[in-house]
Amino acid sequence: MIKASYKKYVLNFKNPSGTSRGILKTKETWFIILQKENSYGYGETGLFRGLSIDDVYNYEEKLQWVCKNINLGLENLLAELIEFPSIQFGLEQAFTSLLSKDAFNLFPSKFTLGNDIIPINGLIWMGDKDFMKSQIKNKIEAGFSCIKMKIGAIDFDEELTLLKAIRKEYSSNEIELRVDANGAFHTTNALDKLEKLAKFDIHSIEQPIKQGQVEEMAYLCEKTPLPIVLDEELIGVFSLQKKTALLQLIKPQYIILKPSLVGGFKGSSEWIKFAEQNNIGWWITSALESNIGLNAIAQFTYTLQSNLPQGLGTGSLFTNNIESPLEVKNGALLYNTKLNWNFKF
């Protein structure tokens, strides 16, 4: 018999982090803890307020139900939790962890042995021009060759000026630039903004307009002068039929997968399968999980052997993150086997 419990944990940002949805100061999360005899398994249910489809009033009630019914087994629980993708992901982690020799080594590989790295993008948070400029400088000095800049909160012309300044100093061969609009553009001017952005050799833009405007997004993806990435558009699309239909209708150039938002390893793998069948590129991004969830995402991502920089650099954002062997050096995520986990719950 497996015993299950859960624990809420509030992560505190080192610096308030700006997005198009406002300023983030804290991020609540939950840990699922499984025990079978002397073995333990850990998972994180990374709910993202205001973004997750399972941001609902009875979220903790659902966690309580999961703990009471844990012996239904993983597959049965996943089927019952189709509308709770973050809990699905937490359970996948916890069961995989429970069955592993090392509870934190879910997918043993060269990465977890410390013999290989995962290239990642450096994330530039929204803020005033000087703040964003200083972040860009710091990321380049820290060895990042791929930078992702969140746009849509300050004046668009100022954002173009920042991009122009980067390109004046670094070519697209030296620094890959990604931008993330988080749905900030209006359908009436989105294409015009994309054309202005394209002048700066932008690798791609995430979610230029708000999710749910499927025909408008399909039009943009057909006419765009730079690759478009679907992100929020994937949230809440559960069935296999709807996933394939969405990609075939919109025909994006890329999709981004946040396991906490799209149903964990299983949900992400389904999206990847359909994307590859339709010649659509993809990469994986964390969604402000603690190092417990980030570790699971990173290990899973490494097994997929993507050749693109991933979005896995969020572990250093918090003052009270779980101590772990995960480190960011020279624009890559690595697993430092000389460091230990400090997870006490």
What does the alpha-carbon distance between residue 246 and residue 211 come to, in Å, rounded to a whole number? Answer: 12
Is residue 294 classed exposed, middle or buried when 0-12, 13-18 and 19+ CB atoms within 10 A define those classes?
A: buried
The question of whether 68 is a catalytic residue gets the answer: no
Residue bearing the bigger pLDDT, 158 or 298:
298
Q: Is 111 among the domain residues?
A: no
Q: How many domains does the chain have?
A: 2
The question of whether 150 is a catalytic residue gets the answer: yes
Q: Indicate whether 91 and 139 sit together in one domain.
A: no
Residue bearing the bigger pLDDT, 166 or 20:
166
Which of 38, 66, 98 finishes a domain? 98
> Looking at this protein, which amino acid is placed at residue 284?
I
Give residue 266's pLDDT.
97
Q: Identify the CATH number of the domain in which residue 69 sits.
A: 3.30.390.10
How distant is the alpha carbon of residue 280 from its chain centre?
18
pLDDT, one tens digit per residue, over 40-60 is 999 999 999 888 999 999 999
Among the ranges given (63-67, 184-188, 203-207, 313-317), the one the predictor scored with the smallest mean pLDDT: 313-317
Q: Indicate whether 13 and 92 sit together in one domain.
A: yes
Going by the DSSP 8-state scheme, the letter that residue 197 receives in this structure is: H
256: part of which helix (H) or strand (E)? strand 254-257
- Options 148, 150, 193, 210, the catalytic residue: 150
Q: Is 106 among the domain residues?
A: no
What contacts 225, CB < 8 A, 6 or more positions away? Answer: 194, 195, 198
Q: Indicate whether 205 and 303 sit together in one domain.
A: yes
**Residue 198 pLDDT level (bands cut at 50, 70, 90):** very high
Which of 98, 131, 162 finishes a domain? 98
Token representation of residue 248: 């075939």
Q: Is 73 among the domain residues?
A: yes
Q: Is 218 among the domain residues?
A: yes
pLDDT, one tens digit per residue, over 97-144 is 999 999 999 999 999 999 999 999 998 877 777 887 888 889 989 999
Q: Is 330 among the domain residues?
A: yes
Domain carrying residue 57: 3-98
Res 169 pLDDT > 90: no
On whether the CB atoms of residues 201 and 179 are closer than 8 A, the answer is no
- Options 27, 148, 193, 258, the catalytic residue: 258
pLDDT, one tens digit per residue, over 239-248 is 999 999 999 9
Give residue 20's pLDDT.
55
Q: Indicate whether 123 and 162 sit together in one domain.
A: yes
Q: Indicate whether 49 and 165 sit together in one domain.
A: no
Q: Is 147 among the domain residues?
A: yes
Give residue 96's pLDDT.
98
Q: Is 241 among the domain residues?
A: yes
> Looking at this protein, which amino acid is placed at residue 80?
E
Q: Indicate whether 185 and 130 sit together in one domain.
A: yes
Res 19 pLDDT > 70: no
Res 152 pLDDT > 60: yes
Going by the DSSP 8-state scheme, the letter that residue 37 receives in this structure is: T
Count of C-beta atoms within a 10 Å radius of residue 19: 18
What does the alpha-carbon distance between residue 41 and residue 20 come to, in Å, rounded to a whole number? Answer: 36
Q: Indicate whether 321 and 237 sit together in one domain.
A: yes
- What percent of the chain is modeled with pLDDT above 70? 98
Backbone CA torsion sign across 258, 263, 265, 269: negative
Q: Indicate whether 40 and 177 sit together in one domain.
A: no
Q: Indicate whether 41 and 166 sit together in one domain.
A: no
Q: Indicate whether 273 and 136 sit together in one domain.
A: yes
Q: Is 344 among the domain residues?
A: no
What does the alpha-carbon distance between residue 82 and residue 80 come to, in Å, rounded to a whole number? Answer: 6
Q: Identify the CATH number of the domain in which residue 223 sits.
A: 3.20.20.120
Q: Indicate whether 92 and 125 sit together in one domain.
A: no
In the chain, count H helices and then E strands.
Answer: 11, 13
What does the alpha-carbon distance between residue 206 and residue 226 come to, in Å, rounded to a whole number? Answer: 11
